[in-house]
C-alpha cells in the first residue's frame, strides 16, 4: 500500500542554519503531498501542500517541491529560528482513495540559539 518515509530525528540545528528534512513516498499514480507541523502540546497544523508533480508548496519560509522522478517531497528552510522547534510530519492522500490521509513517523527538529 501507499506509504511515507521520513528521516529519523531529532534534527538539531543552530539558529539561522539551513534545514532539510527528507521525505520519500511510495504510491500509485499521483498522490497529493503535505507537510504538517506539531508544536509541543498542540495538534497538527498544515504547513504546506502540493497536489501535482513539480508543484512547490511554501509557507512561513518553508518550501517543498513535489518530485515525481525521485518520489520525494523534502522540506527546506533557509534560516531556522528557535520558534521552528517542533515535530514535522510528511503525509499523502492517495489518488485512488481520496478520503485517506497517510502520515510518516514524524521528525523532531530542535533549534538552539
Partner 1 sequence: DARVTQTPRHKVTEMGQEVTMRCQPILGHNTVFWYRQTMMQGLELLAYFRNRAPLDDSGMPKDRFSAEMPDATLATLKIQPSEPRDSAVYFCASGTTGTEAFFGQGTRLTVV
CA distances from 71 to 48, 53, 68, 83 (A): 17, 9, 5, 29
Binding of residue 85 to partner 1 (CB under 8 A) = no
- C-beta of 104: minimal distance to partner 1 in Å? 9
Q: Which long-range contacts (CB under 8 A, 24 or more apart) does 95-102 make?
A: 95/27, 95/28, 95/29, 95/30, 95/31, 95/32, 96/28, 96/29, 101/34, 102/2, 102/3, 102/4
Binding of residue 103 to partner 1 (CB under 8 A) = yes
Binding of residue 86 to partner 1 (CB under 8 A) = no
CA distances from 76 to 16, 28, 35, 98, 104 (A): 13, 25, 11, 26, 17
Applying CB under 8 A, which part among 17-25, 58-66, 75-83, 92-100 lies near partner 1? 92-100
- C-beta of 14: minimal distance to partner 1 in Å? 26
Applying CB under 8 A, which part among 20-28, 58-66, 68-76, 95-103 lies near partner 1? 95-103
Query: Of these, 44, 58, 76, 108, which contacts partner 1 (CB under 8 A)?
Result: 44
Applying CB under 8 A, which part among 8-16, 63-71, 75-83, 103-111 lies near partner 1? 103-111
Amino acid at each position: 500500500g501507499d506509504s511515507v518515509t521520513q528521516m529519523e530525528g531529532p534534527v538539531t540545528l543552530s539558529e539561522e542554519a539551513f534545514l532539510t528534512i527528507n521525505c520519500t513516498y511510495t504510491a500509485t499514480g499521483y498522490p497529493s503531498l503535505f507537510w504538517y507541523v506539531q508544536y509541543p502540546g498542540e495538534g497538527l497544523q498544515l504547513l504546506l501542500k502540493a497536489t501535482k508533480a513539480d508543484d512547490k508548496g511554501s509557507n512561513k519560509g518553508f518550501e517543498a517541491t513535489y518530485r515525481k522522478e525521485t518520489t520525494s517531497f523534502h522540506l527546506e528552510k533557509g534560516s531556522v529560528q528557535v520558534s521552528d522547534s517542533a515535530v514535522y510530519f510528511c503525509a499523502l492522500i492517495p489518488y485512488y482513495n481520496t478520503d485517506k490521509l497517510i502520515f510518516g513517523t514524524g521528525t523532531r527538529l530542535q533549534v538552539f540559539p
